[in-house]
Amino acid sequence: MVAITDSSRGLRSNGSVRGPEPATPKPSRENIFLFVPNLIGYARIFLALVSLYYMPLHPRRCSFLYSISCLLDALDGYAARAFNQSTKFGAVLDMVTDRCTTTCLLVFLSTAKPRWSMLFQLLISLDFTSHYMHMYATLAMGGSGKSHKSVDKSRSWILNLYYSNRNVLFVCCALNELFFIALYLLAFSSPIISPALLQPEPSTLQPGNPAVLPKPSTLFANPWSAGAMEMARANKMDSTVPWVLCVISFPVMAFKQWVNVVQIVKASKWLAEGDLAERAKLAEKKQ
Protein backbone atom coordinates (compact mmCIF):
# COMPACT_ATOMS: atom_id res chain seq x y z
CA MET A 1 0.00 0.00 0.00
CA VAL A 2 1.38 3.39 -0.96
CA ALA A 3 1.81 5.81 1.93
CA ILE A 4 0.13 9.18 1.45
CA THR A 5 1.90 12.14 3.00
CA ASP A 6 0.21 14.91 4.99
CA SER A 7 2.22 18.05 4.31
CA SER A 8 0.31 20.08 6.90
CA ARG A 9 1.30 17.83 9.81
CA GLY A 10 4.51 16.31 8.55
CA LEU A 11 3.01 12.81 8.96
CA ARG A 12 2.41 9.93 6.65
CA SER A 13 -1.04 8.34 6.35
CA ASN A 14 0.16 5.37 8.39
CA GLY A 15 1.08 7.66 11.30
CA SER A 16 4.86 7.55 10.86
CA VAL A 17 6.78 10.78 11.04
CA ARG A 18 8.02 12.03 7.72
CA GLY A 19 11.79 12.48 7.43
CA PRO A 20 13.41 15.87 6.85
CA GLU A 21 13.54 17.14 3.31
CA PRO A 22 17.04 17.17 1.80
CA ALA A 23 18.54 20.66 1.92
CA THR A 24 18.92 22.41 -1.41
CA PRO A 25 22.60 23.29 -1.92
CA LYS A 26 23.18 27.02 -2.20
CA PRO A 27 25.21 28.19 -5.16
CA SER A 28 28.75 29.17 -4.16
CA ARG A 29 29.44 32.89 -4.40
CA GLU A 30 32.72 33.44 -6.24
CA ASN A 31 34.84 36.52 -5.72
CA ILE A 32 35.33 37.82 -9.25
CA PHE A 33 37.84 40.41 -8.05
CA LEU A 34 40.22 37.68 -6.86
CA PHE A 35 40.24 35.66 -10.07
CA VAL A 36 43.76 34.92 -11.31
CA PRO A 37 43.47 37.02 -14.52
CA ASN A 38 42.24 40.00 -12.49
CA LEU A 39 45.09 39.61 -10.00
CA ILE A 40 47.46 39.77 -12.98
CA GLY A 41 45.63 42.92 -14.05
CA TYR A 42 46.24 44.50 -10.64
CA ALA A 43 49.93 43.61 -10.94
CA ARG A 44 50.00 45.34 -14.33
CA ILE A 45 48.57 48.50 -12.80
CA PHE A 46 51.12 48.43 -9.98
CA LEU A 47 54.05 47.98 -12.38
CA ALA A 48 52.70 50.76 -14.60
CA LEU A 49 52.47 53.16 -11.65
CA VAL A 50 56.04 52.39 -10.57
CA SER A 51 57.26 52.87 -14.14
CA LEU A 52 55.56 56.29 -14.21
CA TYR A 53 57.44 57.22 -11.04
CA TYR A 54 60.76 56.42 -12.72
CA MET A 55 59.78 57.82 -16.13
CA PRO A 56 61.22 61.38 -15.86
CA LEU A 57 64.78 60.42 -14.85
CA HIS A 58 65.27 56.65 -14.92
CA PRO A 59 64.67 55.43 -18.49
CA ARG A 60 66.15 51.97 -17.99
CA ARG A 61 64.09 51.15 -14.92
CA CYS A 62 60.97 52.69 -16.42
CA SER A 63 61.30 50.78 -19.70
CA PHE A 64 61.91 47.49 -17.90
CA LEU A 65 58.87 47.82 -15.61
CA TYR A 66 56.65 49.18 -18.36
CA SER A 67 57.62 46.29 -20.67
CA ILE A 68 56.79 43.69 -18.01
CA SER A 69 53.41 45.33 -17.48
CA CYS A 70 52.72 45.11 -21.23
CA LEU A 71 53.84 41.47 -21.48
CA LEU A 72 51.51 40.51 -18.64
CA ASP A 73 48.70 41.66 -20.90
CA ALA A 74 49.09 38.41 -22.82
CA LEU A 75 49.42 36.29 -19.68
CA ASP A 76 46.07 37.30 -18.20
CA GLY A 77 44.29 36.05 -21.33
CA TYR A 78 45.95 32.65 -21.08
CA ALA A 79 45.12 32.52 -17.36
CA ALA A 80 41.48 33.35 -18.06
CA ARG A 81 41.20 30.44 -20.50
CA ALA A 82 43.24 28.01 -18.37
CA PHE A 83 41.23 28.63 -15.18
CA ASN A 84 37.91 29.24 -16.96
CA GLN A 85 37.78 32.70 -15.40
CA SER A 86 36.87 34.94 -18.32
CA THR A 87 34.76 37.82 -16.98
CA LYS A 88 33.36 41.09 -18.26
CA PHE A 89 35.07 42.90 -15.41
CA GLY A 90 38.40 41.42 -16.45
CA ALA A 91 37.88 42.43 -20.08
CA VAL A 92 37.09 46.03 -19.10
CA LEU A 93 39.99 46.12 -16.61
CA ASP A 94 42.36 44.91 -19.32
CA MET A 95 41.18 47.46 -21.87
CA VAL A 96 41.23 50.39 -19.43
CA THR A 97 44.74 49.47 -18.25
CA ASP A 98 45.98 49.31 -21.85
CA ARG A 99 44.50 52.68 -22.74
CA CYS A 100 45.75 54.43 -19.60
CA THR A 101 49.32 53.11 -19.71
CA THR A 102 49.78 54.02 -23.36
CA THR A 103 48.25 57.43 -22.75
CA CYS A 104 50.61 58.15 -19.85
CA LEU A 105 53.63 57.29 -22.01
CA LEU A 106 52.37 59.50 -24.86
CA VAL A 107 51.74 62.35 -22.43
CA PHE A 108 55.36 62.14 -21.30
CA LEU A 109 56.53 62.14 -24.91
CA SER A 110 54.40 65.22 -25.49
CA THR A 111 56.17 67.04 -22.66
CA ALA A 112 59.59 65.74 -23.70
CA LYS A 113 59.03 66.75 -27.33
CA PRO A 114 56.62 69.73 -27.39
CA ARG A 115 57.20 70.13 -31.11
CA TRP A 116 55.40 66.81 -31.71
CA SER A 117 52.87 67.16 -28.90
CA MET A 118 49.92 67.60 -31.28
CA LEU A 119 50.74 64.30 -33.00
CA PHE A 120 50.90 62.48 -29.68
CA GLN A 121 47.62 64.10 -28.61
CA LEU A 122 45.97 62.93 -31.83
CA LEU A 123 47.23 59.39 -31.22
CA ILE A 124 45.75 59.46 -27.72
CA SER A 125 42.42 60.71 -29.04
CA LEU A 126 42.38 58.11 -31.82
CA ASP A 127 43.12 55.28 -29.41
CA PHE A 128 40.41 56.24 -26.92
CA THR A 129 37.81 57.08 -29.57
CA SER A 130 38.21 53.88 -31.55
CA HIS A 131 38.04 51.54 -28.56
CA TYR A 132 35.17 53.39 -26.89
CA MET A 133 33.06 53.50 -30.05
CA HIS A 134 33.82 49.86 -30.86
CA MET A 135 32.90 48.73 -27.35
CA TYR A 136 29.74 50.86 -27.25
CA ALA A 137 28.59 49.69 -30.69
CA THR A 138 29.13 46.06 -29.67
CA LEU A 139 27.06 46.47 -26.50
CA ALA A 140 24.33 48.57 -28.13
CA MET A 141 23.93 46.53 -31.31
CA GLY A 142 25.23 43.09 -30.41
CA GLY A 143 23.83 42.85 -26.89
CA SER A 144 25.45 42.68 -23.48
CA GLY A 145 26.45 39.04 -24.00
CA LYS A 146 28.51 39.75 -27.12
CA SER A 147 32.25 40.26 -26.75
CA HIS A 148 33.93 43.21 -28.44
CA LYS A 149 36.41 40.69 -29.88
CA SER A 150 33.66 38.87 -31.79
CA VAL A 151 33.65 40.60 -35.16
CA ASP A 152 32.09 38.93 -38.20
CA LYS A 153 34.09 38.84 -41.42
CA SER A 154 31.09 40.27 -43.24
CA ARG A 155 31.35 43.42 -41.14
CA SER A 156 35.15 43.83 -41.31
CA TRP A 157 37.71 41.23 -42.33
CA ILE A 158 40.58 43.29 -40.89
CA LEU A 159 38.93 43.58 -37.47
CA ASN A 160 38.04 39.90 -37.59
CA LEU A 161 41.70 39.06 -38.24
CA TYR A 162 42.89 41.49 -35.58
CA TYR A 163 40.65 40.19 -32.79
CA SER A 164 40.20 36.50 -33.66
CA ASN A 165 43.87 35.66 -34.31
CA ARG A 166 45.69 35.79 -30.97
CA ASN A 167 49.11 35.93 -32.61
CA VAL A 168 48.15 38.94 -34.71
CA LEU A 169 46.63 40.70 -31.70
CA PHE A 170 49.69 40.03 -29.53
CA VAL A 171 52.22 41.16 -32.18
CA CYS A 172 50.26 44.33 -32.96
CA CYS A 173 49.87 45.34 -29.31
CA ALA A 174 53.43 44.39 -28.34
CA LEU A 175 55.18 46.15 -31.22
CA ASN A 176 52.92 49.18 -30.89
CA GLU A 177 54.08 49.60 -27.28
CA LEU A 178 57.65 48.77 -28.28
CA PHE A 179 57.69 51.67 -30.74
CA PHE A 180 56.69 54.20 -28.10
CA ILE A 181 59.10 52.70 -25.56
CA ALA A 182 61.93 53.00 -28.10
CA LEU A 183 60.90 56.58 -28.85
CA TYR A 184 60.97 57.27 -25.12
CA LEU A 185 64.51 55.88 -24.87
CA LEU A 186 65.60 58.01 -27.83
CA ALA A 187 64.49 61.08 -25.90
CA PHE A 188 67.32 60.25 -23.49
CA SER A 189 69.92 59.07 -25.98
CA SER A 190 69.58 60.56 -29.46
CA PRO A 191 70.54 64.17 -30.20
CA ILE A 192 68.33 63.92 -33.28
CA ILE A 193 65.28 63.42 -31.06
CA SER A 194 66.56 65.56 -28.19
CA PRO A 195 68.99 68.25 -29.45
CA ALA A 196 69.55 69.36 -25.86
CA LEU A 197 71.72 66.27 -25.41
CA LEU A 198 74.36 68.01 -27.53
CA GLN A 199 76.55 69.81 -25.01
CA PRO A 200 77.82 73.08 -26.54
CA GLU A 201 81.29 74.43 -25.96
CA PRO A 202 81.64 76.60 -22.84
CA SER A 203 82.55 79.63 -24.97
CA THR A 204 79.28 79.40 -26.90
CA LEU A 205 77.05 79.37 -23.84
CA GLN A 206 75.01 82.55 -23.63
CA PRO A 207 72.32 83.53 -21.15
CA GLY A 208 68.95 82.44 -22.46
CA ASN A 209 70.42 79.83 -24.80
CA PRO A 210 67.94 76.89 -24.80
CA ALA A 211 70.87 74.48 -25.12
CA VAL A 212 72.07 75.46 -21.67
CA LEU A 213 71.07 72.64 -19.37
CA PRO A 214 70.58 73.18 -15.65
CA LYS A 215 73.22 71.68 -13.46
CA PRO A 216 72.25 68.69 -11.33
CA SER A 217 72.53 70.87 -8.24
CA THR A 218 69.59 72.94 -9.50
CA LEU A 219 67.45 69.84 -9.95
CA PHE A 220 68.36 67.85 -6.88
CA ALA A 221 69.27 68.78 -3.32
CA ASN A 222 72.34 66.56 -3.60
CA PRO A 223 74.12 66.56 -7.00
CA TRP A 224 75.44 63.07 -6.21
CA SER A 225 71.98 61.62 -5.53
CA ALA A 226 70.79 58.51 -7.30
CA GLY A 227 68.56 60.59 -9.57
CA ALA A 228 71.41 62.85 -10.66
CA MET A 229 73.70 59.90 -11.37
CA GLU A 230 71.00 58.15 -13.35
CA MET A 231 70.43 61.32 -15.36
CA ALA A 232 74.14 61.51 -16.16
CA ARG A 233 74.14 57.91 -17.35
CA ALA A 234 70.94 58.39 -19.31
CA ASN A 235 72.44 61.22 -21.35
CA LYS A 236 75.23 58.87 -22.40
CA MET A 237 72.95 56.00 -23.46
CA ASP A 238 73.70 54.41 -26.81
CA SER A 239 70.85 55.16 -29.22
CA THR A 240 71.60 52.32 -31.66
CA VAL A 241 69.28 49.74 -30.14
CA PRO A 242 66.32 52.16 -29.69
CA TRP A 243 66.68 53.27 -33.31
CA VAL A 244 66.63 49.65 -34.51
CA LEU A 245 63.55 48.93 -32.39
CA CYS A 246 61.84 52.03 -33.79
CA VAL A 247 62.47 51.01 -37.39
CA ILE A 248 61.29 47.43 -36.80
CA SER A 249 58.15 48.33 -34.86
CA PHE A 250 57.05 51.40 -36.84
CA PRO A 251 55.16 49.49 -39.61
CA VAL A 252 53.19 47.51 -37.03
CA MET A 253 52.46 50.68 -35.03
CA ALA A 254 51.17 52.34 -38.21
CA PHE A 255 49.03 49.26 -38.96
CA LYS A 256 47.48 49.42 -35.50
CA GLN A 257 46.58 53.08 -36.00
CA TRP A 258 44.90 52.08 -39.26
CA VAL A 259 42.94 49.42 -37.34
CA ASN A 260 41.84 52.15 -34.92
CA VAL A 261 40.53 54.21 -37.84
CA VAL A 262 38.71 51.17 -39.23
CA GLN A 263 37.14 50.59 -35.80
CA ILE A 264 35.77 54.12 -35.77
CA VAL A 265 34.34 53.83 -39.28
CA LYS A 266 32.76 50.40 -38.74
CA ALA A 267 31.37 51.31 -35.30
CA SER A 268 29.87 54.51 -36.72
CA LYS A 269 28.18 52.62 -39.56
CA TRP A 270 26.89 49.94 -37.17
CA LEU A 271 25.39 52.55 -34.85
CA ALA A 272 23.87 54.35 -37.85
CA GLU A 273 22.22 51.08 -38.93
CA GLY A 274 20.67 50.84 -35.47
CA ASP A 275 19.43 54.42 -35.68
CA LEU A 276 17.81 53.76 -39.08
CA ALA A 277 16.11 50.63 -37.74
CA GLU A 278 14.75 52.55 -34.75
CA ARG A 279 13.47 55.37 -36.98
CA ALA A 280 11.79 52.84 -39.26
CA LYS A 281 9.99 51.25 -36.27
CA LEU A 282 8.81 54.66 -35.08
CA ALA A 283 7.52 55.48 -38.59
CA GLU A 284 5.54 52.21 -38.68
CA LYS A 285 3.94 52.95 -35.30
CA LYS A 286 2.84 56.40 -36.47
CA GLN A 287 1.16 54.85 -39.49
Residue 10 forms beta bridges with which residues?
none
Q: Tens of pLDDT along the chain (287 residues)?
A: 444 444 444 555 555 555 555 555 555 688 999 999 999 999 999 999 999 999 988 899 999 999 999 999 889 889 998 999 988 899 899 999 999 999 999 999 998 888 899 999 999 999 999 999 999 998 888 877 778 888 888 888 999 999 989 899 999 999 999 999 999 999 888 777 766 665 544 445 455 454 444 444 444 445 445 555 556 555 567 889 999 999 999 999 999 999 999 999 999 999 999 999 999 999 888 87
- pLDDT of res. 94: 92
What is residue 17's DSSP assignment?
B
Instruction: State how far the Cα of 96 lies from the Cα of 98, in Å rounded to an integer.
Output: 5
Rounded Cα distance between 124 and 105, Å, is 10
Q: Give CA torsion, residues 174, 178, 180, 186, to 10 deg.
A: 180
Catalytic amino acids?
A: 98
How far, in Å, CA of 199 to CA of 211, rounded?
7
Show the DSSP H helices in the chain as ranges: 36-54, 59-82, 88-112, 117-142, 157-164, 166-189, 216-219, 226-234, 240-286
Q: Which domains, from first to last, does the chain contain? A: 32-194+226-286 (1.20.120)
Q: What pTM, to 2 d.p., does this model score?
A: 0.77
Name the residue among 109, 238, 251 with its Cα closest to residue 184: 109
